[in-house]
């Protein structure tokens, strides 16, 4: 099966690309949107994703991660008192899933949402569409490559 490409959002106060560089791998827990959950369940080991810092200054793509483990039940949904506890979830019938991601690279610069919106070839990306911004979303191979090139570019 061909490699798929994704964009995965995380707020900097929750987790950063720099922290992932230190940790090497982490679970992408806490996704609580059904569309995003369904995208997580489509991911395969070896797929690549843009790590997107949301609600940052500026918000944008900051690096690349690789899917290290395919979707499995998000364990925090079963932990009473956890902010992502889901009382309706049962181990045999989970509501929410997570994947494990592995650090690949941090970009030389943030590829801001403003840059994404203004770059030819990226106008169809879900992240630039008003009202279509789930925390996990697919991107095309072409979109992925454009964003990676922009992120690796040194200078202004």
pLDDT tens readout for residues 53-77: 999 999 999 999 999 999 999 999 9
pLDDT at 66: 98
For Cα atoms 72, 101, 62, give the angle at the middle one, nearest 5 degrees.
140
| Total domain count, the chain | 1
Instruction: Give pLDDT tens digits for 36-59.
Output: 999 999 999 999 999 999 999 999
Classify the phi-psi angles of 30: left when phi > 0, otherwise alpha if psi is within -120 to 50, otherwise beta: left
pLDDT at 151: 98
User: Across the chain, which distance is largest between two alpha carbons, in Å?
Assistant: 51
Q: Bridge partners of 50?
A: 7, 64
Instruction: Give pLDDT tens digits for 79-125.
Output: 999 999 999 999 999 999 999 999 999 999 999 999 999 999 999 99
- Distance (Å) of CA 131 to CA 50, 51, 73, 123, 134: 20, 20, 27, 14, 9
- Distance (Å) of CA 91 to CA 16, 67, 80, 96, 137: 29, 23, 13, 11, 26
Identify the domain containing residue 66 by its residue range: 5-152
| Global confidence as pTM | 0.95
Answer for the pair 58, 15: CB distance below 8 angstroms, yes or no: no
pLDDT at 2: 87
pLDDT at 155: 67
Answer for the pair 67, 4: CB distance below 8 angstroms, yes or no: no
CATH number at residue 13: 3.10.590.10
């Amino acid at each position: 099966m061909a490699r798929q490409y994704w964009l995965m959002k995380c707020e900097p106060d929750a987790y950063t690309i720099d922290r992932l560089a230190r940790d090497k791998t982490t679970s992408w827990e806490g996704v609580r949107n059904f569309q995003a959950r369904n995208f997580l369940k489509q991911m395969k080991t070896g797929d690549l994703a843009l790590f997107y810092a949301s609600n940052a200054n500026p918000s944008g793509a900051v690096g690349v991660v690789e899917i290290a483990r395919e979707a499995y039940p998000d364990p925090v949904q079963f932990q009473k008192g956890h902010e992502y506890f889901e009382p309706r979830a049962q181990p045999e019938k989970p509501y929410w899933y997570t994947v494990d991601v592995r650090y690949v690279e941090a970009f030389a610069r943030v590829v801001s949402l403003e840059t994404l919106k203004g770059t030819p070839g990226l106008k169809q990306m879900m992240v630039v569409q008003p009202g279509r911004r789930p925390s996990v979303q697919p991107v095309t191979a072409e979109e992925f490559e454009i964003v990676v090139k922009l992120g690796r570019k040194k200078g202004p």
